[in-house]
Amino acid sequence: MSDLKSASRRKSSPKSKAAIPAKAVKAAVRLRVPKPVDKATMIEIFRRLHEANPEPKGELDYTNPYTLLVAVALSAQSTDVGVNKATKDLFRIADTPQKMLKLGEDGLKEHIRTLNFFNTKAKNVIAAAKRLVDEFGGKVPNSVEILETLPGVGRKTASVVVNIAFGDPRIAVDTHIFRVANRLPLVNTKTPLETQAPLEKLIPKEYLLHAHHWLILHGRYICKARRPECWRCPVNDLCRYPDKTIP
Ligand code: SF4
């Protein structure tokens, strides 16, 4: 066989097609990831989100910091609508840690059995109520670090509670915020956990308190996971996402 023929066979074999150097693949992927927006663009993005919704609100029902804490903890792996249905009657009879303890784990389960992982959630809510009564006089502490030590309360839940109940401008990064922040992008990060600190540092102070709600609502209703609705996005011209959609 001539050298030419064997070289051509080598070229077209499936093996040689698969042998793209890893470095080249990484470089190609990097090219698809736009750099985060500059400060002026960041300010304009939040100015527009503010203009579109000056007083953004979360969608979980609650009556005080304690019921907010319980509602947020129950919302893990469940929809806000589902949690609101479950807590409608619950919060009428148990809106303090003391009353929750009186209701007890079995009583609580009766109210939340439509939610995913209701057994574990009931156990955690009761254990957290006991600690709040024993160590904090039945009050919800205004501290992410303390709240994080309660059973069933992680960094995200603690950050939502201090933001909404106490006006502490924390960004609780959930799947929506992570996605929107990396599409615009405001940041280039790999996990929700590593996204909170840079967002809290980069987002202009005047927008920090409500940024959490604006980004969640934007991700939930416009910048959706499977198919973002870019054609009706108020920050479309500022966004660097390479796969923008049209109607
Ligand atoms: S333009 Fe599209 S991808 Fe960019 S933020 Fe808006 S909805 Fe999301």
Name which residue sits closest to atom 4 of ligand 1, judged by CA.
Answer: 239
**146-186: pLDDT as tens digits:** 999 999 999 999 999 999 999 999 999 999 999 999 999 99
- Ligand 1, pocket-test mutation among 37, 179, 236, 238, most atoms within 8 A of CB: 236
Distance 48 CA to ligand 1 centre (A): 13
At a CB cut-off of 8 Å and minimum separation 6, what does 180 contact? 186, 215, 218, 219, 223
Alpha-carbon torsion angle 185, 189, 193, 199, nearest 10? -40
Model confidence at 31, in pLDDT bands (50, 70, 90)? Answer: low
> Which residue owns the Cα nearest ligand 1 atom 8?
223
pLDDT of res. 27: 60
DSSP state of 224: -
Residue 9 has pLDDT above 50, yes or no: no
What was the pLDDT predicted at 3?
45
The CB density around residue 154, as the number of other CB atoms within 10 Å, is: 15
**Alpha-carbon distances, residue 30 vs 27, 235, 242 (angstroms):** 5, 23, 12
- Asked if residue 19 has pLDDT above 70, the reply is no
Which phi and psi (to 5°) does residue 243 adopt? -115, 45
What sections of the chain are H helices per DSSP? Answer: 3-12, 14-18, 22-32, 39-52, 65-74, 80-93, 97-112, 118-136, 144-147, 155-166, 175-183, 196-202, 205-221
Ligand 1 touching residue 184 (CB < 6 A):
yes
Q: What is the DSSP letter of 222?
A: T
Please give the average per-residue pLDDT across 77-84, as a whole number.
95
CA distance 80 to 50: 23
The pLDDT mean for the chain works out to 91
Q: Residue 239: CB within 6 Å of ligand 1?
A: yes
Would the CB of 222 count as within 6 Å of ligand 1? yes
- Rounded to an integer, what distance in angstroms lies between the CA atom of residue 45 and that of residue 239? 9
pLDDT for residue 25: 61
Q: Give the mutation target among 235, 237, 243, 245 for probing the ligand 1 site: most ligand atoms within 8 A of CB.
A: 235
Is pLDDT above 70 for 10?
A: no
pLDDT value at position 33?
85
What is the per-residue pLDDT for 6? 46
pLDDT at 35 over 80: yes
pLDDT digits 0-9 by tens, 119-128: 999 999 999 9
